[in-house]
Structure 1
Amino acid sequence: MNITFIGTGFMGSEMVPHLVDNGYTVTVFDQDSSKTKRLMNANVHVAASLEEAVKASSIIMTSVMSNDVMALHVGTENQPGIVNYLNRDSILIITSTLDPDKVATIKAAMPDHSELLDAPIIGGVRYAREGSLVLIPAGSKSAYETAKPVLESFGHVEYVGPSGNGAKLKLITNVGIMAAEAGIRETLDLADVYDIDYDITLHLLQLGPLKPVVTRALDENNPRPLKDSVADEVELLSATEKLVELPMVKASMRRLQMAVDAIEGEARFSDIAHKSTSLKK
């Protein structure tokens, strides 16, 4: 069975090998061709165009940044999107963090006899590499049952009901996750004021319930740019601004943005545990 995977950045490039390991052949596509060439082997075909990639399979997965989702899926005035190329009875699986209204827009633009699963991911690059992600697909039960074996290639799968629920639950869980990420940085801000060593502070945090967050922050092999966490906060606030006041999200976004701005060039996620992102004296 062939699966199409579109978007082979930090996450996608770690997910595709799990599909191969589970016996699938894979067609990959990315606007940046350098990201797909390193994945090419006997079981991975690199498509020359979006159209070729979409038409190659009945199950199409996408993994791109939130900002790029609508143009990729629905298209623009000058460029068709995925929905324009879907085969009959295709299942489109979107793994990005997304406003539920955008999920509805994409679903409405899809042709008849095709299905959409919004299946966002909980977990970062290391979890993708290890095959221990959590995916939370939502959509029709029949589409879910068809796609379930594919999704299980990446880790644990929790079906969460009707279309849009995956996107909603990703935003809900991100409130706590992002607060914890910014909380690590702010914890160390107080350590700076008290002149307490970062190592002992982070060690003590790892003895409690924040251990997974601290472990992720200390992972120097995590290539995720810190600005991607800020982008997820922006998507969360944009999706919920007319629904509910989320002051903690706004505060955590500001602190993470300050950390991004503190470093010239690209701040990595692990920089939240470094002096380089501390507050200016």
Structure 2
Amino acid sequence: MRPSLRWMNIHAFSSVRSRSTSFIGLGRMGHEMAFNLFSKQFAQANESEFVVCDTVPETAQSFCSNFVKQFPGSRIKIAKTPEEATLASRTIITMLPSSPQVQNVYNNGIIPTLRSLPADQVQSTLCIDSTTLDVDVARSVSENVTALGSQMVDAPVSGGVTGAKAATLAFLVGGTTTAFDQAQPILASMGQRIIHCGPSGAGLAAKICNNLILGVQQIVVGEAMLLGTKLGLDPAILSSVISSSTGNCWSISVNNPIPHALPEKSPPCERDYEGGFATALMLKDMGLASNVATLSGCPVPLGLTAQRLYGQMIEEQPELARKDFSSVYQYLKQAMEEGKRIKVGVESP
């Protein structure tokens, strides 16, 4: 007996969906992550299919054109909506700006579409969200996804655009062991360290704590480098001293804010602070840290001060919002040259 047309359509749908991966959000980070993931999946199995989705159609079109040019014969499509991306693939990765976008994409797109699928398709679906967002929002979205029978992890990243491009990111993962095991080989195509931090939301909690340190760290590195050069030290020599001393950190040895201070590297300061982690995004992350700290009753006075400084930077010089957050050095330097005192602090309750 020949199978019915309906059965064959369902079978074909299931087959295509099983070998397809959708990536939603092609910003600075998402673009590099998707490119690495798709290129490695294509190398491993050239029958793989890829789907991209972005709020800016031209961004998705440009990504597809570049990918096909570098990988002739690859199958890549553009989904106009998260619904289309969900229908197309059983692996869905999102890399979005923040909490509101995640809520919209999942609650109004991915989750309603999952509800419309056959049970076996829902159960075979894995959602990976690499957005840095509010922990409670992430947990709520995950609960809604897993309640349907799908798997989901929060997997924010550390390593910046440079790490995304080089596929050396660290993924800080929250979710069940089953979901983590499914996500790990996918994340390994985009990063080097895949760390299971605990249940849903744990990856984000770890990321927020990390970026709390990073946001404060970049400011004090800018202060130290500015002070050192003011005292007549060569930036490269000062950077070398700090990098080999107790002050060593990522902000001095990788994301140094002074041009030519790292002769063998190319931090954003070498490109007028373009192409790094935007100050506006760091301000967002500092806000996430201060909000969750307030809710948990944890004092973070330096974090609050750093948050206020990044906010003040953007308010006074809006063009710095899109620049790498190491441009705080430029902000401090300009204030020094103008004889301006920078007043930031934690207001008393």
TM range (shorter): 0.7 to 0.9
Secondary structure of the corresponding residue to residue 170 of structure 2:
strand
Q: Which residue of 1 aligns with 2:178?
A: 142
| 1:1-281 aligned within 5 A | 1-24=19-42, 25-40=49-64, 41=68, 42-75=74-107, 80-86=108-114, 87=117, 88-89=122-123, 90-110=125-145, 111-155=147-191, 156-191=193-228, 194=231, 198-208=235-245, 210-214=248-252, 215-218=254-257, 219-220=267-268, 222-243=275-296, 244-267=298-321, 268-269=323-324, 270-274=326-330, 278-280=334-336, 281=339
The one-letter amino acid of 1:72's match is N
Check conservation: 2:160, 2:276, Cα contact below 8 A: no
Aligned residues: 277
Q: Which ranges in structure 2 are unaligned for 5 or more consecutive residues?
A: 1-18, 43-48, 69-73, 258-266, 340-349
Residue 114 of structure 1, CA deviation: 1.1
Change (3 A) 1:275 1:172: closer
Secondary structure of the corresponding residue to residue 22 of structure 1:
helix
RMSD of aligned alpha carbons: 2.4
Residue 188 of structure 1, CA deviation: 3.9
Secondary structure of the corresponding residue to residue 135 of structure 1:
strand
Residue 5 of structure 1, CA deviation: 0.8
Check conservation: 2:103, 2:137, Cα contact below 8 A: no
The one-letter amino acid of 2:295's match is K
Question: Could you list the per-position Cα deviations for residues 173-206 of structure 1 after superposition, in whole angstroms to 9, with x for gaps in the alignment?
Answer: 2222222112222324544765656555444333
Residue 164 of structure 1, CA deviation: 1.6
Check conservation: 2:99, 2:134, Cα contact below 8 A: no
Residue 113 of structure 1, CA deviation: 0.8
Distance, in Å, in 1 between the alignment partners of 2:248 and 2:112 is 44
TM-score w.r.t. the length of structure 2 is 0.72
Question: Could you list the per-position Cα deviations for residues 10-42 of structure 1 after superposition, in whole angstroms to 9, with x for gaps in the alignment?
Answer: 000001111122225321101111221221023
Check conservation: 1:259, 1:277, Cα contact below 8 A: no
Distance, in Å, in 1 between the alignment partners of 2:237 and 2:334 is 17
The one-letter amino acid of 1:82's match is I
Which structure ranks higher in relative contact order (CA pairs < 8 Å, sequence separation ≥ 6)?
A: 1
Distance, in Å, in 2 between the alignment partners of 1:131 and 1:124 is 10
The one-letter amino acid of 1:210's match is N
% identical aligned pairs: 22
Distance, in Å, in 2 between the alignment partners of 1:169 and 1:82 is 26
The one-letter amino acid of 2:85's match is A
Secondary structure of the corresponding residue to residue 319 of structure 2:
coil
Distance, in Å, in 2 between the alignment partners of 1:274 and 1:44 is 42
The one-letter amino acid of 2:248's match is L
Secondary structure of the corresponding residue to residue 97 of structure 1:
coil
Change (3 A) 1:258 1:202: farther
Secondary structure of the corresponding residue to residue 217 of structure 2:
helix
Change (3 A) 1:183 1:232: same
Residue 143 of structure 1, CA deviation: 1.5
Q: Which structure is higher in helix share?
A: 2
Check conservation: 1:5, 1:16, Cα contact below 8 A: yes
Change (3 A) 1:223 1:68: farther
